[in-house]
Chain A
Amino acid sequence: MRRFEIGDHVTVREATTLFHHRTQAYTRGHTGVVVEHRPEWLIPEDEAWQREDGRVEPFYVVRFRQRDLWPGYTGLDRDTLETEVAEGWLVPAEEGMQ
């Protein structure tokens, strides 16, 4: 059961990271839009330690605007960056963040 649909605005949580993860620091705290569903998979935080009780989550391709990610971005306004994020890292974007 997926929490987010294509087109949903989502924010990457500002959570503490330690030792190993795949959620780029530059995406955390930023809001983008879901553009693709990716298959469910073991999340990297559990797969990296081969946990027998490893959590399986749906993944999403999230599209960010480059100018939202990088302070002082000098490229075009329409430039985007897409990356894959596990569901547990995402929350619905708050009003006004869209």
Chain B
Amino acid sequence: MTSPSELDSLQRRVLGLAPEPAARLDSPYWISNEFYGALRHVLHDVGGQPDAPVAYVDKEEADWELRTYVLCEVLAWRGVWNSEMRRRAENDLGATLYFGLPYYARWITVAAKALVDKGLISVSELAAKIDDVRARKAAGS
């Protein structure tokens, strides 16, 4: 049985071995102008930004991707938005979603968000519909 004081000294020794923790990035008290410049870089402007190589995959559009494209065009035709508003909405998703989602998943995500933003559907209706579809899938129909 290790005593609390032994645990404390053990923990201090381990902390001494651990690398210096990185500065927290969430809501710091101040940042440099240079860092601010990097933070406000607009996400879709990827040309020349540092990144790792990406494998080129030669693939056809899937049905859901083509339907997403047509849906976004129809939303423009019906006056909900235009293509530039769609691109801005994609930037507005933030870095995690922008770079984490597949290309047309970004489109369908911002299309849904535009409908919510415009008050055409509520976010609860959208979530309930997703749950319906998930339940239908789980039921195997």
- Which residues of A pack against B, CB within 8 Å? 17-21, 24-26, 42, 44, 47-50, 69-70
CB atoms of B45 and A25 under 8 A apart: yes
Beyond A24-B48, A25-B47, A26-B48, is A50–B85 a contact (Cβ under 8 Å)?
yes
Shortest beta-carbon distance from B41 to chain A in Å: 7
Shortest beta-carbon distance from A13 to chain B in Å: 15
Residues in B whose Cβ lies below 8 Å from that of A48: 84-85, 87-88
Partner of B42, one of A17, A26, A42, A70: A17
Partner of B45, one of A24, A42, A69: A24
Residues 25-55 of chain B: 1 if any A CB is under 8 Å from the residue's CB, otherwise 0?
Answer: 0000000000000001110010111000000
CB atoms of B85 and A47 under 8 A apart: yes
CB atoms of B91 and A25 under 8 A apart: no
Residues in A whose Cβ lies below 8 Å from that of B49: 25
Would you call B11 an interface residue if the criterion is a C-beta within 8 Å of the partner chain's C-beta atoms?
A: no
Closest 5 CB pairs of A and B: A26-B48, A48-B88, A47-B84, A20-B88, A48-B84
Would you call B122 an interface residue if the criterion is a C-beta within 8 Å of the partner chain's C-beta atoms?
A: no
Question: Nearest CB to that of A26 among chain B residues?
Answer: B48
Q: How many A-B residue pairs have CB under 8 A?
A: 45
Partner of A21, one of B42, B47, B81, B85: B42
CB atoms of A20 and B48 under 8 A apart: no
A17, A42, A70 pick with most chain B CB within 10 angstroms: A17
Q: Bound state CA distance, A18 and B81, in angstroms?
A: 20
Q: Bound state CA distance, A80 and B87, in angstroms?
A: 27
Residues 58-87 of chain B: 1 if any A CB is under 8 Å from the residue's CB, otherwise 0?
Answer: 000000000000000000000001101101
CB atoms of B42 and A19 under 8 A apart: yes
